[in-house]
Structure 1
Amino acid sequence: MYSYLADPEIKNVAVLDITHGGIIISRKLKDIGFNVTAVDVYGTLSRAQRRSLEEDNIEVVTDINCAVERFDLIISPVHLTPVHCLLQQARERQIPIISHHLAVRDLLATRNMFSKPLVIEVTGTKAKTSTASVLADIISRELSVLLHTSRGLEYWEDGVCQMMHKGLSITPASILTVMDLRESLGKKAEVCIFEVSLGITGYGDVGIITTLDMDYKIGGKTSLASEVKVRSLLSCSKNALIILNAKSRESLKQLKISPESICIKTFDVVDEKTGIVSDTDYCLTMHDNRISIKCTGEEMEICLADGYDAKSYTTAFAASCVTALEMGISWKKIKETVEQFKGLQGRMQGMRIDGTTVIDNSNSGMDILSVEKALDLCLKRRQLVIMVLGEEAAQVCEGLSPADVADLLRRRQGDMYELILVGERMKPLATGNIHYAESFDMGRDNALEMARKKNPDEVIIALCVKCFR
């Protein structure tokens, strides 16, 4: 597969957007001999960061004072608007443009690794973290795993997880950092699993698209995120295995990607009450506290543990189990892992704190629909619901829309016994008998204090704050 970074004619490279991983990419390019200019398109670079880059002989400019004709290659993120002045000028002068994702793929290819791990990349709109985490747990029963998600960098072995590092985002450039850490941490994992935003890099041996539901526009609202994610499959080698949610097949057709051109296995999650018959390679159905996975005449039933909303994990169970099966992991290990699974922190996980039941749904991917799911789950228990709702905006790129929260309150506030809103943008909504807290921790503590005034069996707390954990 062609790589611009392997082209001897490419010497001068501009990296656009140094907020979302561009600093990492710029330094890696400099390390292998390129003349690099980092372009601060959003004006977010601190003085300390700028000084640090310049000390490494990386020029830093803004898009206003950048002459594009001096570059042989432009590296730009997929979310930057295509009508950005530098991208328009580059196209007019026929200067090649590649994404951060492709740059990471090609930079990884330049690494001289004595023993390359099997690499799995997970992308999609929802269920990325849960899919990657369940898959790491399954695979770790047979192979050691280094897992990077929005939860952090974890090392998995024999079903046991050890947190190794926190603070990295799921931008594609973080894969480069994780590979460096793999060497320095002394954890030579046999498998590396990466949660990646807005598509896969194509470096992996396995690529997974969990779901494209709840699509949204990027690039200055010029393209759909789903198109970008599906198009990223074209970056994979012909030997790569692609695990694809069946609902994404239409996107393949629209982008004229032939399923025969790459090895694709599809899965579907079907509600058996509808009577719909799936024509996918694998099909998962759920009934009561059991899931059933069917493929080529075989069927595996798994009994699920209590203590979390298993229905919220059906996509994760399907994608992870299918991937593990295609990798040759035994049915026995898969069944054992899923049966022991009890949910992830902040993803519809049930727990008891000071005798009070808590449904924890606070995570970086939370949206207003999952808030309603958490509320409905609480109401099924016929207890008074204390809801903690909002965002820690400084932690996440896309916060929780105050307009969506206001709409939810108009429709569902009557279902909440007490409501605590979190985050500066939610403050205007905290009127009347609605409480306010500045942070997730304060909101949780206030909710627990309210719960102590009631019988523990009378109340249930729902934690729904969009944040990194």
Structure 2
Amino acid sequence: MNSLVIDMTHGGVKIAVSLAKKDETVYAYDIYNTLKSVDKKMLAVYNVKIIDLDYLKNLNGNLRVIYPVHLPLTKRDIEKYNPSLNYTFLTHHEIIKELLKNWGNDIPKIEVTGVKGKTSCVFMLKEILIDKNPLILSSLGALLYENGVKKTLKQNISITPANIKETIDLAYKIANPVCEIAAGKCDSQNLKKYGCAIFESSLGASGIGDVGLLTNIVENYPIAKNKRTASEAKSQIFNCSIVAIQKETLDEFYKNIEHKKINTFSLNNNADVTVKNIEYDLDKTLFDISYNNIITANGEVISGEFKVETFAPGKHHVKNVLGVIATCLSLNIPKEKIIKGLANYKGIKGRTNKKIIENSTIIEEINPGINTKAIEESINMIRNLDDYYIAIGGDYGITCEEIDESKVSTYLDTLDYNIILTGEVGEGILKKMNKPVKYSKNFQDVYKQAIHNNKNLLLIYRSDYRKLNKR
């Protein structure tokens, strides 16, 4: 089998090497010219030839092209370099499913994608499944929990599909250390220290999940240089055995999808998992859950009710909780375990969390994908806004979606609150606003202002994945 792996920036090296280890003939196309010297050496060790697409004219027969879903080239763009080849196209997600086809059959596996709320959902699921020593890939790192204790396998790691396999391989090395195998302390069988796996992915899912959770498509942003959209990429979630999806997202983007096991959730009463009697609070929000005709992994169809108390200060947080509950019910996780896990969830440091500094309450909403809707929902969760500074800003990074400064500035112009813009994102918004607002270059100075003036602070900050101290 001849394979061409495109894009060495977003996991292509891992995929190319994995295929080469199976004695395949593998070519690599570094479309963004970001290949590091150490990765070039790694590819050379496994006889992976780095090529440009012009090289395809030298090939004949079959060629499998493995590409990221956000590739700014069409299949026709690639085929024109050698029209005589017999092409097969697979996404990075699809090849990861193939590479892992014999892995994880004895454990529950969850894949999480969506535009907003992915990481929060992963860590709610972690709390619920903590007794199973979960293996996790998230935007906060590759992690393994043993008896409730976190082990960081790799911190600076992206949520590309290739890093699902990287996370699994890292966990394998911990369970099967070469030195202990050589010393006879353990054998070289595929030992595991985890009893479940939770994988976050930015643009879809590989399909290895027993349940795939699609949190939402609150913004259907363009990808692949406007050739495709987020909803198209994330439709790969339907390759999972069961899909938990927001009802509004299903109706708007995927109404023609055929899948036998879909469980929906919504704040409204037209879904499989719904909610009522919500009592919002910045510490613990209480509400009643009702679920009807949930299709489960073991073939049951279940219905019931229970009460939840968890950290969910805004509507968007409650939606995330509903997605997590739909996922857990799909896996036949007892409701008592769901209730206990959600009660233990306190938010995520570096995402949504609350803290007290001196006399000031600080609410942090930190996310690489902040947009106008997210800003609006964050502001709406605060009751006494006159007591708050609202700081908005952040960094421009390497996510697929960029913030619409004009749209945000138009929205902020309608508000009559104490707004402070900060960072490079805040500076961009400031230039487009009509009303005067304060600006602080360093977001840390906003904390100082709030504390000094005995004000509370809502910080809505777009973080760059590369700046780990703000994650």
Give the TM-score band, short-chain normalised: 0.7 to 0.9
The answer on 1:298 being equivalent to 2:304 is yes
| Identity across matched positions, percent | 23
Equivalents in 2 of 1:292, 1:224: separation in Å?
A: 35
Equivalents in 2 of 1:40, 1:326: separation in Å?
A: 40
Cα distance change of structure 1 residues 293 and 433 upon mapping to structure 2, 3 Å threshold? closer
The answer on 1:462 being equivalent to 2:459 is yes
- 1:102-131 C-alpha deviation (Å, 9 max, x unpaired): 1111111266x7x85332111222222122
- 1:101-160 C-alpha deviation (Å, 9 max, x unpaired): 11111111266x7x853321112222221222111210224x221111111123335666
Equivalents in 1 of 2:234, 2:413: separation in Å?
A: 35
Q: Partner of 1:57: helix, strand, or coil?
A: coil
The answer on 1:193 being equivalent to 2:194 is no
How far did 1:166 drift? 0.7
How far did 1:86 drift? 1.4
Q: Partner of 1:422: helix, strand, or coil?
A: helix
The answer on 1:323 being equivalent to 2:327 is yes
**What is the aligned counterpart of 2:340 among 325, 336, 340?**
336
Query: 1:421 is matched with which residue?
Result: 423
How far did 1:385 drift? 0.7
The answer on 1:63 being equivalent to 2:53 is yes
**What is the aligned counterpart of 1:145 among 134, 143, 151?**
134
Cα distance change of structure 1 residues 68 and 209 upon mapping to structure 2, 3 Å threshold? farther
**What is the aligned counterpart of 2:74 among 68, 78, 82?**
82
- 1:415-437 C-alpha deviation (Å, 9 max, x unpaired): 22533233597398399864343
Conserved in 1, the CA contact under 8 Å of 2:63 and 2:85?
A: no
- Unmatched tracts of structure 1, length 5 or more: 1-9, 272-276
**What is the aligned counterpart of 1:227 among 212, 225, 232?**
232
- Unmatched tracts of structure 2, length 5 or more: 176-191, 280-284, 293-302, 466-470
**What is the aligned counterpart of 2:439 among 435, 438, 453?**
435
Cα distance change of structure 1 residues 32 and 228 upon mapping to structure 2, 3 Å threshold? same
Q: Partner of 1:109: helix, strand, or coil?
A: coil
Conserved in 2, the CA contact under 8 Å of 1:74 and 1:96?
A: yes
Q: How is 1:114-153 mapped onto 2 (pairs within 5 angstroms)? A: 116-141=106-131, 143-153=132-142
Equivalents in 2 of 1:159, 1:42: separation in Å?
A: 40
CA RMSD of aligned residues (A): 3.0
Query: 2:242 is matched with which residue?
Result: 241
Equivalents in 1 of 2:272, 2:218: separation in Å?
A: 20
The answer on 1:104 being equivalent to 2:87 is no
Q: How is 1:240-319 mapped onto 2 (pairs within 5 angstroms)? A: 240-250=241-251, 251-255=253-257, 257=258, 259-260=259-260, 264-271=261-268, 277-278=269-270, 280-285=271-276, 287-288=278-279, 289-296=285-292, 298-304=304-310, 309-319=313-323
Equivalents in 2 of 1:285, 1:60: separation in Å?
A: 57
Conserved in 1, the CA contact under 8 Å of 2:447 and 2:457?
A: no
How far did 1:386 drift? 4.7
Q: Partner of 1:319: helix, strand, or coil?
A: helix
Conserved in 1, the CA contact under 8 Å of 2:20 and 2:26?
A: yes
Conserved in 2, the CA contact under 8 Å of 1:134 and 1:316?
A: no
Equivalents in 1 of 2:80, 2:411: separation in Å?
A: 41
Query: 2:15 is matched with which residue?
Result: 25
Equivalents in 2 of 1:210, 1:400: separation in Å?
A: 19
- 1:155-211 C-alpha deviation (Å, 9 max, x unpaired): 335666454431111111101101101112236101011011221111222222222
How far did 1:248 drift? 4.1
Cα distance change of structure 1 residues 433 and 223 upon mapping to structure 2, 3 Å threshold? closer
How far did 1:65 drift? 4.8
